[in-house]
Amino acid sequence: MKIRSEQFKGNVRKQLADEALQSNLSRFGGGFADRRRDALVKVDDFEALRDRGASIRAEVLENLDYWLLKFEAEAQRRGTQVHWAETGAEANQILLNIARNAGVQRVVKSKSMVSEESGLNEVLTEAGMTVTETDLGEYILQLANEPPSHIIAPAIHKSRDEVSALFEKHHGTPRTDDIPSLCEEARGQLRPHFLAADMGVSGGNFLIAETGSVTIVTNEGNGRMVTTLPRVHVAMTGIEKVLPTLEDLSAILRLLPRSATGQDITNYVSILTGVRDEGAMDGPQENHVILVDNGRSRLLGGDLHDALRCIRCGACMNHCPVYQNIGGHAYGWVYPGPIGAILTPAFLGLEKALDLPQASTLCAACEVVCPVRIPLPDLMRVLREKELTQGLRPWHERLSIRLWRWLALHPGWYAFAARWGTRLLRGMAGSDRLLHTLPGLDGWTQGRDMPAPQGETFRDQWRKKQAAERKIIPIRLDSSPSEKKAGLKK
């Protein structure tokens, strides 16, 4: 996928000025969050479940090589071919070779974020194949020629009117604002593609090591058709997605849909194991899994290790006030929101996404909902630290942090700076006691005033008050509370 994370600030300006987008964002804003909250009421101890999820994922990552090799062996035992790709480009090439060897012309896809990472659709199209996205959201975006803006609801930024206009343009059908009719229309369009396809490409929500299975979790049924109707199925997924056992899967599946969409369970949970049995009616004759690294193994054992626990539920973006205001496209790559602010620089390189770890108030709304307890704000802080120590922040920012730290460590100078700083600001404020512009701080004053300091600094006022009280004390014979206060001063 084309990388636009470097232009984050420009993307943000565009997104904030896009009235249609803002209206779509505010219409759905918090929708998933509300549904999640309602779903949790019905669960006995969701916090315990989060602990369980976090520990299952953490333990897998401790021995990832073991579990991956176990998965490979079990998958191979059941007739699945397992491929390893170090990069997205390598994954595309492997898939292309599989397709060519099998004489594939028509490909149907269910949602796969890893294939968005690698830009698979372009590669297959260039090789002369037709690729049809069959997840409704992805299908809409394929018609619109746009990238996804959310990891579980890729077209969340589009209104029904926009979808209807797209359908009118591409299907030649009359406009409608009835969502079931739009869905029906998409089904009608997609059905022939499913039936004619030679190859189905899916992602993989989880890989089950003990059975060599790929699990996919969907709501539309398209995933089932993609993985069972065509004669060749290829699942493309990240190496971190492995779970040791089906028992672990059952725990994670209690967390994932509730965290994501507030569903107790999704409409479809498919556990795909091996190839079509002899004499069976359906299932692929060839089954492949491409295990994609694409930067993930670099995170293992490092200070961003915990980000690999992610099960891609999207709860962090559903609860992120920054995401809710700018939408997913602003982040400029596959993964938006808080997890994207970590994964994008982690996978692509920090210099490709300098603004992303800064794009958070560290409000921790993401951290408290993450089903596998990824400490997202801490990880963003880790990346901020790397930016600073690697000299990737602007010189004036680095200088002001050092200056500020020096002052804060020298109380006398700090008091002096605060005294004169507040005097200056008060002098600059108008009769309304507000600062409408501040040199160097136009990031603030473009949209907000700055209330002027109230008066002398607290410590100056406190010192004067105490001095005044001390003058009175000597003529008193008893010891007053204020004298005690003065005496305690160091």
Partner 1 sequence: MRIGLFVTCLVDAMRPSIGFASVSLLEAAGCEVTIPDTQTCCGQPGFNSGDRPSGIQLGLAFLRDFEGFDAIVAPSGSCIGMIHDYPTLFKDDLALQARLNVLTAKCYELTDFLVNHAPKPLSPGRLSMTVSYHDSCTGLRQLEIKSQPRFLLQQTQGVELREMKDAEICCGFGGSFSIKLGDIATQMADKKCAHALETGCDAIVGGDLGCLLNIEGRLRRRGDPHTQVKHVAELLAESLVNPQLEKS
Query: Does residue 484 bind partner 1 (CB under 8 A)?
Result: yes
Task: Tell me, residue by residue from 8 to 47, as one string, x for binding to partner 1 by CB under 8 A and - for no binding.
Answer: -x--xx--x-------------x-----------------
Residue 11 or residue 270: which is nearer to partner 1 going by CB?
11
Q: Which stretch binds partner 1 (CB under 8 A): 255-263, 267-275, 280-288, 320-328?
A: 320-328
Nearer Cβ to partner 1 (231/386): 386
Give the residue from 256, 249, 247, 264 showing the smallest Cα distance to 214: 249
Q: Does 2 bind partner 1 (CB under 8 A)?
A: no
Q: Is 444 in the site for partner 1 (CB under 8 A)?
A: yes
Q: How far is the CB of 432 from partner 1 (least distance, A)?
A: 7
Q: Which is nearer to partner 1, 247 or 442 (CB)?
A: 442
Question: In the complex, what is the shortest distance from the CB of residue 341 to partner 1, in angstroms, rounded to a whole number?
Answer: 12
Please provide the size of the chain in residues: 490
**Rounded-to-integer distance, Cα 25 and Cα 146, Å:** 17
Sign of the dihedral through C-alpha 113, 40, 374, 212: negative
The yes or no reply on residue 172 touching partner 1 (CB under 8 A) is no
Q: How far is the CB of 183 from partner 1 (least distance, A)?
A: 31
Regarding 454 and contact with partner 1 (CB under 8 A), the answer is yes
Smallest distance from partner 1 to CB 393, Å:
8
The interface with partner 1 within residues 359-398 (CB under 8 A) comprises: 359-365, 367-368, 381, 383-389, 393, 397
SS3 category, 176: coil
Distances (CA, A) of 353 to 14, 70, 374, 399: 17, 35, 20, 22
By beta-carbon proximity to partner 1, the closer residue of 427 and 447 is 447
How is 278-289 classified by DSSP, letter by letter?
Answer: TT-SSS-SEEEE
- Range 407-436, binding partner 1 (CB under 8 A): 407-409, 411, 414, 418, 421-422, 432, 434
Rounded to whole angstroms, how far apart are CA atoms 213 and 319?
32
Within positions 332 to 361, which residues make up the interface with partner 1, using CB under 8 A? 355, 358-361
Contact 67, 60 (CB under 8 A): yes
Nearer to partner 1, 12 or 156 (CB): 12
Per-residue exposure over 397-427, b if at least 16 CB sit within 10 Å of its own CB, e if not: eeeeeeeeeebeeeeeeeeebbeeebeeeee
Of 129 and 435, which CB lies nearer to partner 1 in the complex structure? Answer: 435
Q: Is 179 in the site for partner 1 (CB under 8 A)?
A: no
In the complex, least distance from residue 62 CB atom to partner 1, rounded to whole angstroms: 20
User: What region does 30 belong to: left with phi over 0, alpha with psi -120 to 50, or beta?
Assistant: left
Residue 441 interacts with partner 1 (CB under 8 A)?
A: yes
**Helix spans in 240-309 (H):** 246-260
Q: Give least dist CB 454 to partner 1, A.
A: 5
Beta bridge partners of 235: 202, 289
String of b and e for 80-111 (b: at least 16 CB within 10 Å)? bebbebeebebbbebbbebbeebebebbbbbb
The token pair at 20 is 């249609």
CA distances from 421 to 417, 428, 450 (A): 6, 11, 14
List residues near partner 1 by CB under 8 A. 9, 12-13, 16, 30, 321-322, 325-326, 355, 358-365, 367-368, 381, 383-389, 393, 397, 401-402, 404-405, 407-409, 411, 414, 418, 421-422, 432, 434, 441-444, 446-451, 453-459, 461-463, 481, 484-485, 488-490
